[in-house]
Each structure stands twice: as C-alpha cells, then as structure tokens.
C-alpha cells in the first residue's frame, strides 16, 4: 500500500473551535489534495498543493485553509468549525498525470 495516512481518523468538535487535519505521505509526491465527501455531492476539492508552500483553492475552499511546509505533510485547517463542515475528509496524492492515485483512509469530522 502507498504511504499516505490521515490523522485523526475521527473527530468530534464544537462549533467555533479550530480544527486541523493532517495528511502525511511517504511517496515524495509533488501533488496533494484535500477533498470532502458528502451524500449527494460526491468528492469535492477543497484545496490542493503542487509543491512546498504552493497551494491553490478548490471549489469549496471557503472556511478552510491549508499549509504545506514540507513535501510529506499537507495540513487542512478549519479556522472556526461550523456544522456545515461536518463531513468525511479525504487526502489524496498522485491524481494528475499518468500515475496511480492514492487516497488516505478518510477523517470523519462531526461539528456539534
């Protein structure tokens, strides 16, 4: 299996609190992505990174920020969590080009 792990796997947090999700890869891949998956919407891109300190917004980036200070780690932060951010979050690498795609196991986040 590809070395891509997400942490935490499950989290319950209160509205208004900050939350950071971590994606860690050992594949040395340039591209990393954060998606959220909700019923009826499929996978929606939040942010992605194409290198250290190089990030860009996806289609549902409002309320989220990201950072990538080193190749292996891509952090997703909810500055002030809201109930609409309750979702399953997936990190992925290697989705562009002609290499196999790899996804993290997912993080189930509940904002109460």
Give the residue with the Cβ less far from another protein, 56 or 79. Answer: 56
The residue among 86, 54, 81, 84 whose CA lies nearest residue 67 is 54
Query: What is the Cα–Cα distance from 88 to 28, expressed in whole angstroms?
Result: 25
The pair phi, psi for residue 28, each rounded to 5°, is 60, 35
Query: What is the Cα–Cα distance from 89 to 9, expressed in whole angstroms?
Result: 9
Is 110 one of the binding residues for another protein (CB under 8 A)? no
The two three-digit tokens of residue 45, written as one number: 């891109």
> Contacting another protein (CB under 8 A), which of 26, 69, 82, 105?
105
Q: What is the pattern of x (binds another protein, CB under 8 A) and - over residues 36-65? A: ------xx-x--x-x-----x-x-------
Specify which residues 44 forms β-bridges with. 36
Q: What is the pattern of x (binds another protein, CB under 8 A) and - over residues 20-39? A: -----------x-x------
CB of 50 to another protein, least distance (A): 6
Stretch that binds another protein, among 17-25, 68-76, 79-87, 88-96 (CB under 8 A): 88-96
Number of C-beta neighbours around residue 94 at 10 A: 20
Is 19 one of the binding residues for another protein (CB under 8 A)? no
């Amino acid at each position: 299996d590809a070395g891509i792990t997400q942490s935490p796997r499950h989290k319950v947090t209160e509205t208004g609190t900050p939350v950071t999700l971590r994606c860690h890869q050992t594949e040395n891949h340039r591209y990393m992505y954060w998606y959220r998956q909700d019923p009826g919407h499929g996978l929606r891109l939040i942010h992605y990174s194409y290198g250290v300190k190089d990030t860009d917004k996806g289609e549902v980036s409002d309320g989220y920020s990201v950072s990538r200070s080193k190749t292996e780690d891509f952090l997703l932060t909810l500055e002030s969590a809201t109930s609409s951010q309750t979702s399953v979050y997936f990190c992925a690498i290697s989705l562009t080009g002609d290499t196999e795609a790899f996804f993290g196991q997912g993080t189930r986040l509940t904002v109460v």
